[in-house]
């Protein structure tokens, strides 16, 4: 049987590359391709499938050049804000993502950030690496407790719900803001707040899990940050675009926020270096799904989608049906 010809636009884990070698006709890149280059390769190689990650932007202009032999764009991510989905749909392309397989991993990262920001992990680490020699007094260098606090979750999809499950283990009260209220079996005791603004004053910690969209762009801004109680903690494992970073930096500087934990930024990897100068921020370079197990599973899931479509079968994770 001939192998499906695909273009791989992103660097992948070894196990995923091995499977591509076995099951597909593809060239493995040693760097991430931009959208334009990826599309040119699709045309040159007469590929049926294109595998990307969040780092390859597929604009309407790029997608408009898609040849008829291209059937599927599979992104190795749950988020798809890097793809002009409306243009892909108009072009008749199948677009798939990789939900489920990264839910727990990303929720673990959100909890890592909640704990690290609240408990001043970055500053403690710095202190040790500088060769701690001076004992701290009982009232010095204190963080904030996480157990028993109220956690607000913006976006109660799969990842938001997985964060809530973890928070229950910490005896936290869970509030959530979402486009729709969840059924009781998924709520598991979390309180639905129809009004995001009304939820904010009740949150000791706010963790965002909504996709980047016109609706959520800058939803965390000077006004909404001011609605949090003074000294709250903010955590973002979703997308930088949800945040007005000027306002976030100001809130971290003036004490409106006690601390923040950030895995994502408006401009990646060129993140605003002022964050790196703030002691009360715990920073990660967009690593929410970055475990061996999860990145392998994401790659395999993207390949499963491509294999299905190239074999004339329905995709597993289509963005629309």
**Residues acting as catalytic residues:** 239, 268, 286
Q: Does residue 224 touch ligand 8YV according to CB under 6 A?
A: no
The two structure tokens encoding residue 301: 């899931």
Q: Does residue 71 touch ligand 8YV according to CB under 6 A?
A: no
- Considering the complex, what minimum distance in angstroms separates the CB of residue 80 from ligand 8YV? 8
Distance CA 258, CA 299 (A): 37
Interaction mask 90-119, ligand 8YV, x per CB under 6 A: ------------x-----------------
Rule CB under 6 A: choose which of 103, 178, 224, 289 binds ligand 8YV.
Answer: 289
Binding part of the chain for ligand 8YV, among 72-80, 85-93, 159-167, 199-207 by CB under 6 A, reads 72-80
Q: Does residue 49 touch ligand 8YV according to CB under 6 A?
A: no
Q: Does residue 236 touch ligand 8YV according to CB under 6 A?
A: no
- Considering the complex, what minimum distance in angstroms separates the CB of residue 318 from ligand 8YV? 16
Q: Which residues contact 174 (CB under 8 A, 6 or more apart)?
A: 150, 151, 153, 164, 167, 168, 189, 190, 191
Tell me how many residues contact ligand 8YV (CB under 6 A). 11
Q: What is the DSSP letter of 141?
A: S
- Considering the complex, what minimum distance in angstroms separates the CB of residue 124 from ligand 8YV? 27
Distance CA 208, CA 239 (A): 9
Between 172 and 235, CB nearer to ligand 8YV: 235
- Considering the complex, what minimum distance in angstroms separates the CB of residue 294 from ligand 8YV? 8
Rule CB under 6 A: choose which of 4, 16, 47, 55 binds ligand 8YV.
Answer: 55
Distance CA 71, CA 67 (A): 9
Between 120 and 241, CB nearer to ligand 8YV: 241
Tell me the residue ranges of DSSP E strands in the chain.
Answer: 4-8, 24-25, 49-52, 72-75, 94-96, 150-154, 173-177, 191-192, 205-208, 232-236, 257-262, 281-283
Tell me the residue ranges of DSSP E strands in 193-273.
Answer: 205-208, 232-236, 257-262
- Considering the complex, what minimum distance in angstroms separates the CB of residue 288 from ligand 8YV? 6
Query: Whose CA is closest to 205, among 278, 249, 154, 279?
Result: 154
Query: Whose CA is closest to 109, among 166, 157, 52?
Result: 166
Residues that bind ligand 8YV (CB under 6 A): 53-55, 76-79, 102, 286, 288-289
């Amino acid at each position: 049987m001939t192998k499906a010809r695909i273009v791989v636009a992103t660097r992948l884990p070894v196990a995923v590359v091995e499977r591509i070698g076995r099951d597909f006709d593809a060239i493995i890149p040693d760097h991430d391709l931009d959208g334009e280059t990826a599309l040119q390769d699709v045309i040159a190689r007469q590929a049926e499938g294109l595998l990307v990650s969040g780092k390859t932007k597929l604009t309407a202009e790029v997608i408009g050049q898609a040849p008829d032999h291209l059937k599927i764009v599979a992104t190795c991510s749950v988020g798809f804000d890097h793809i002009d989905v409306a243009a892909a749909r108009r072009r008749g392309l199948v677009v798939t993502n990789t939900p489920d397989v990264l839910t727990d991993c990303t929720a673990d990262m959100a909890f890592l950030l909640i704990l690290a920001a609240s408990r001043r992990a970055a500053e403690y680490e710095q202190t040790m690496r500088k060769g701690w020699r001076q004992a701290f007094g009982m009232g010095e260098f204190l963080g904030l407790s996480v157990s028993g606090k109220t956690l607000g979750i913006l976006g109660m999809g799969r990842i938001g719900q997985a964060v809530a499950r973890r928070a229950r283990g910490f005896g936290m009260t869970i509030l959530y803001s979402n486009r729709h209220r969840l059924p009781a079996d998924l709520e598991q005791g979390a309180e639905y707040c129809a009004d995001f603004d009304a939820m904010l004053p009740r949150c000791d910690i706010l963790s965002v899990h909504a996709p980047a969209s016109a609706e959520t762009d800058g939803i965390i801004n000077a006004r909404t940050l001011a609605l949090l109680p003074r000294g709250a903690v903010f955590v973002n494992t979703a997308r930088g675009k949800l945040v007005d970073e000027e306002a976030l930096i100001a809130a971290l500087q003036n004490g409106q926020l006690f601390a923040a934990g950030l895995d994502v930024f408006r401009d990646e990897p060129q993140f605003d270096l002022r964050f790196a100068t703030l002691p009360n921020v715990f920073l990660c370079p967009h690593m929410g799904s970055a475990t061996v197990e999860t990145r392998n599973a994401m790659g395999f899931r993207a390949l499963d989608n491509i294999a299905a479509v190239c074999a004339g079968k329905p995709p597993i994770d289509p963005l629309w049906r």
